Each structure stands twice: as C-alpha cells, then as structure tokens.
Amino acid sequence: MPSPADSSPTRAIRKTSRAARRSIASSKRRCGRQAQTTHESRTDISTHTPQAPGSADTRPALPKTESLGRTMVRPKWIAALLLALVVAAGFAWLGQWQLERAVESGHVVEHSTEHVLPLNSVGRVNSAPTTDGEGQLVHTRGTFAPQDYGMLADRLNNGAAGYWVIARFTPSDPDVKGRTAQLAVARGWAPTEERAEAAIARLKAQTPQAVTLVGRLLPSEAPAAPAAGPDPFLMKEMSVASLVNRWHGIGDSDIYSSYLVEHGAVPAGLQPIYSPPPVEQTTVNWLNIFYAAEWALFAGFAIFLWYRVVKDAWEKQREDAEAEYEAALAAWSGAAPAEGAAPADDIAPARDAAERVAPGADASVPSAAEAEAEAEPSAPSNSSHEPN
C-alpha cells in the first residue's frame, strides 16, 4: 500500500508549489528586464532629446558683416579710389584750362572817352536813358538860362557830401533833327547849402552870353519821390525827366537824354565835380566758363561714383548674408528630429510615460507574495478531489 507521502493529493500540492515558485522567479526576471528597459528609455530620451527652437547651441548665429568703412579700405576699393582720383584730377585740369581760355579769349572794352567829341555825335535827344556815349568828353557852344539854376542835395565829391549847382544849357547848334535842344549841366560842387545858394545868386545875376562848354556826358539818373522835410522840392537825383518840369520857356524843344558834368574853370565859389573816366571793362567767354563748370561737376561725380559703387557692393554683401541667415534659420526651424529621437513635440509625453512606467513597474508585475497568494487558492481546489 503506498505511503501517505506519495498519495495523489500530496503530489498535486507539490506540483502546485513548484509552479508557483517558477512563476515568481519568472515574474522577478520580467520586472528586472522591464526596469532596466525603462531606465535605458529614460536615459535615451534625456540624451537624444533635441534642443527646442531658439536654443543657443543649435540656433544659427546672426550674420556678421563688416562696416562700410572697412569695406572702403579693402585693397581693390583703394585701387578704385586712386583711379577715381586720377580721373577727377584730369577733369579738374580740363576745367582750369577752360577758365584760362575764357579769360584769354576775352578782350578789354576800350572807350576813347578822353578824346573830346562834338555833343551831337554821341548825344541822343527825346529817348529813354541810354549808356551810349557814357563818360565821353564832349564840347558844345551855347548859353545858360539864368532862371533855371537849381541845386541838388546829398551829392558826393571825392567822398564828401555836399550840393551840386545845376543849370539849363541851350546849344547854339541844332541837334541831329535840326531842332533846338536843351541840355542839363552840373556846373560845380559846394560843401554847404549856403555856399551853393550864394553861387546860384551870382550866376543868376550874370548877363547871358555864349560860352564854349566842355564836359563829360553821363546818363540820366532815375527820378525819385521827394522825401518829407522842410523843402519838398529839394532834389537829390540828376534826373533829366524831373528837371524838364522845372525849366521855363523851353516850348517844344528837344531834350538831351544825358546830362553834362562841366570840366575846366568852374564858377566862383564852387569846386570842380569829380568825374573820372569810366572803368575799362573786360569781357569773358561765357561758353568757356560753362564748360569749366561742367568739368568741375564731372570731377566731383568721379569721386561720388566710386563711393556709390563701394556702397552698393557693401549693401549686396549684407543682403547676401541676411539671405543666408534667413535660409539657415528656416531650415533649422523646420528640420525633422534626429533619427532614433522623439520629436520635439513628443518629448514631454514620452518623458511622462517613462516616469509613470519606472516608479510603477512593480505594480504592473505581481510580487512573490501575490503570486503565492494567487497560487494558494489552487491547492484547496485540488484537495477537494481527495477522497474522504
């Protein structure tokens, strides 16, 4: 008869115990492998996770371009500047040559004003003021009208202010039209009004007689409105148009458009009026001056052209650098994650999942006690088959 140890219930319990121990050992091995895998997964995530956009380690660096001044001192632009200076110097020399030609081609306008001519050869009657015959010495013979002596105030004579004594002169010879003409004459200068009035009184007292008059012919001055003062009729300008309205008994006589400054012996009590010959004028060739100005502009433009070319090259260099930077930035911002690494957007979820797995690994794998507890109920189920 077999022993109780070899009975069927005993063998069943032993088999169940061995199966439970094998299950526990297998569970422990699985827990160890899963914990190691979880640790490696966490290490891999932390090691290969790419930096977020904007990180200083991977973001493309801002483009570095040199300044305009540094670009200008590059050897090729220095050589270009020397060439521009040579061209500008050539243009400047051409401009100077044109100026010299303008002066050399000009001529001095010479007037034989000191050669005394007849009054009618240069004098104009009943015409607007003109510079024809200006400063010319002329001679004529005629008489002064004693009733038409007058005085002009604020007249300079060698820099000193004083008064002119003026008169109406009627030439004996008819004018170019064959008619009698009237001529305004400045006879002398007085430093004070009293001396001018005294001279006028003496001249009016003289008996009119024919005299030969020599003087310098000058253009009439523009009339002016009388200034406010004690004498509103006091004149300051030698205006023939104004004097005509003051002369007496001229009828329909012609009027010389210029006036005469008397030379030679002057009336008693007066000083000669200083009337130098006109200054000689030098004409210039304005076309040559225009060309000289053009060459000067060309010289300046040569320097400006060099500056413009250098600045364009510098701006193109900056634009190219900015374009490369923008392309690199776009490529960096839209690049895919490295192989084997989680996408940047999935980094946080993966890390959270790893953290949930690692600390709770034992919770998902049954422990040895739980395995034994799970295995224990199976023994009674098997022992229920024991015979009573």
Mean pLDDT by 10 residues, the chain (388 residues): 52 67 66 52 43 55 84 92 94 90 68 86 82 85 95 93 96 91 96 95 93 94 77 86 92 93 92 87 78 92 94 91 88 62 45 46 45 45 41
Q: Name, in order, each residue with C-beta under 8 angstroms of 21's C-beta and a sequence gap of 6 or more.
A: none
Q: Residue 17: what are its φ and ψ, rounded to 5°?
A: -65, -45
Q: Name, in order, each residue with C-beta under 8 angstroms of 107's C-beta and a sequence gap of 6 or more.
A: 282, 283
Q: Which two tokens stand for residue 365?
A: 């794998």
Q: Which of 334, 312, 333, 329 is nearest to 63 (CA)?
A: 329
Q: Which two tokens stand for residue 55?
A: 């990180």
What letters, b where the CB count within 10 A reaches 16 and e where it falls short, cover 173-208? eebeeeebbbbbbbbbbbeeeebbeebbeebeeeee
Distances (CA, A) of 114 to 121, 133, 212, 257: 15, 11, 17, 21
Give the pLDDT score at 182: 96
204, 144 in Cβ contact below 8 A?
A: no
Query: Beta strands 254-262 and 181-190: pairing type?
Result: parallel
Give the pLDDT score at 223: 86
Q: Where are the alpha helices (DSSP H) in the chain?
A: 8-48, 68-72, 75-105, 119-122, 193-205, 240-244, 286-333, 347-357, 361-364, 368-375, 378-383
Can you tell me the distance from the alpha carbon of 236 to that of 11, in angstroms, rounded to the nearest whole number? 158
Distances (CA, A) of 331 to 20, 59, 326, 346: 59, 10, 8, 20
Distances (CA, A) of 267 to 199, 282, 352, 386: 8, 38, 128, 181
